[in-house]
Amino acid sequence: MRHKVDHKRLGRGSSARKALLMNLARALIIHERIETTLPKAKEAQRFVEKLIGKAMDPNVNNVRNVIKSISDKKVVKRLFYEIAPKLKERNGGYTRIYKLSTPRKGDNAPMAILMMSYIGAKEEVTEENKKAPKVVYKAKKETKKAGSKKETAKKPVAKKAAPKKPAAKKAAPKKTEAKKKDK
């Protein structure tokens, strides 16, 4: 039985899960359509629906609660003043999830598009016209290994930025002034 289970873990700890949902919500508010895995889309939908519900009533307390959840004031301003007025007449169902027929390459994860509901009313989502920006996370920096291709590619760039010939020319006249004083 699933007593008191209120969210999916998504294979992460609590802080990483909160950060993931915050970033997915931020991307959805900015781009109005994102492509992600189906379980992430379902959890992000729950999270975003609550934020949009708070944005319907723009009082100080709701603005502060949304800023606490998203932590980006520009995105919060866009949510309250651009997105919420478009959804004002709706009583819920502010987002939609479309399941994609092709799973992700590599791990065969089911994919979905999460979008604002006012977008789907005008255009139909198909495999050809789906142009949802994928949420891309930067990989951690790899440690440099001896003889790796990345390390050799970076060496010429460092050499180009290093030359400081004008500084050497400025030092030369000082030496000649010192010689003149000795004479």
What digits encode the pLDDT tens for the residues 24-59? 999 999 999 999 999 999 999 999 999 999 999 989
Average pLDDT over residues 56-80: 93
Locate CATH 3.90.1030.10 in the chain. Answer: 14-120
Per-residue pLDDT averaged across 16-26, rounded?
Answer: 94
Give the span between the Cα atoms of 70 and 67, in whole angstroms. Answer: 5
| CATH superfamily of this structure's domain 14-120 | Ribosomal protein L17 (3.90.1030.10)
Tally the C-alpha atoms within 13 A of residue 111's C-alpha that lie toward its C-beta. Answer: 18
Q: Given pLDDT bands bounded at 50, 70 and 90, which one contains residue 175?
A: low
Helix (H, G, I), strand (E, B) or coil at 11: coil
Percent of the chain exceeding pLDDT 70 equals: 65
What is the pLDDT confidence band of residue 155, given thresholds at 50, 70 and 90? very low
Helix residue ranges, H only, 32-130: 38-55, 60-70, 73-78, 84-86, 117-120
Confidence of residue 144 (pLDDT cuts 50, 70, 90): low
Pairing of strands 33-37, 111-116: antiparallel
Amino acid 154: pLDDT: 45
Give all strands of the β-sheet with 33-37 in edge-to-edge order.
Answer: 33-37, 111-116, 95-99
What does the mean pLDDT of the chain come to? Answer: 79
Q: Which residue has the higher pLDDT, 182 or 60?
A: 60
Task: Please list, residue by residue across 66-90, b when 16 or more beta carbons sit within 10 angstroms of its beta carbon and e when fewer do.
Answer: beebbebeebbebbbeebbeebeee
pLDDT band (50, 70, 90) for residue 16: very high
